[in-house]
A and B are shown apart, each in its own frame.
Chain A
Amino acid sequence: MEFMSLLGFAACAPDAEFRASLPFPAFDINRETIPPLLRRRSSQAMQMAFSAATAACEQAQRSPSALPAIFASVAGEIKTTDQICTELVKADGVISPAGFHNSVQNTAAGYWSIAQQCTQPASALAAGSDTLAMALLEAWCQLACQGGELLLVCYDETWPEYLDPGRGNPAFACALVLAAGAVDGRLMQIGRPQAGEAIFPAAWTNSVNSMPILAAIPLLEAVLAGKGAQTIALTPHTPGWQVDVGGWE
Chain B
Amino acid sequence: MTLSPLISPVVVTAYQCVSAGGDDVEALYASLIANQTCLKPLTLFAIPFTTLVGEVTSPLPAIRPSLQAYDCRNARLALKALQQGGFRADVERVIAKHGAARVGLILGTSTSGIYDSENAYARLHQDGVMPDDFYFTKVQTAQATAEFLWLELGLQGPCYAISTACSSSAKALAAAQRLLATDCCDAVLVAGVDSLCRLTLRGFNSLQLISAEACRPMDAERQGINIGEGAALILLEKPNAENADRPRLLAVGESSDAHHMSAPHPDGVGAATAMAQALRLAGRDVSEVDYINLHATASTLNDLSEARAVSSLFPNPPPCSGVKGLLGHTLGAAGAVETVVSLLALERGFLPGTCGLREPDPECRFPVVAAPNLKVSPRLILSNAFGFGGNNASVLLEAA
Contacts and interface: CB of A to CB of B under 8 A. Distances in A.
Interface of A: 1, 74-76, 81, 84-86, 88-90, 95-107, 109-111, 113-114, 116-128, 130-131, 134, 137-138, 140-142, 144-146, 159, 162-164, 167, 192, 195
Interface in B359-392: 387-391
B165 interface: yes
Interface string B102-124: 00000000100010011001101
B13 interface: no
A120 B198 CA distance: 32
Interface residues of B, number: 64
A76 B117 contact: no
B130 interface: yes
B122 A89 contact: yes
Contacts, number: 196
B180 to A, nearest CB: 9
Contacts of A111: 261, 389
A159 B136 CA distance: 10
A76 B142 contact: yes
Given A106-B391, A110-B389, A164 B258 contact: no
B36 interface: no
Contact of A128 (B121, B143, B205): B143
Contacts of A109: 164, 389, 391
A163 B143 contact: no
A128 B181 contact: no
Interface of B: 6-7, 101, 110, 114, 117-118, 121-122, 124-125, 129-130, 136-137, 140-144, 146-147, 156, 158-165, 171, 175, 178-179, 181-182, 184, 198-199, 202-208, 254-262, 269-270, 273, 387-391
A101 B256 contact: no
B95 to A, nearest CB: 15
Given A84-B203, A86-B121, A145-B178, A120 B255 contact: yes
B36 to A, nearest CB: 31
A155 to B, nearest CB: 14
A162 B141 CA distance: 15
Contacts of A85: 114, 117-118, 121, 199
B333 to A, nearest CB: 15
Given A109-B389, A126-B143, A118 B258 contact: yes
Given A106-B387, A127-B146, 4 more contacts: A74-B137, A114-B390, A122-B256, A162-B129
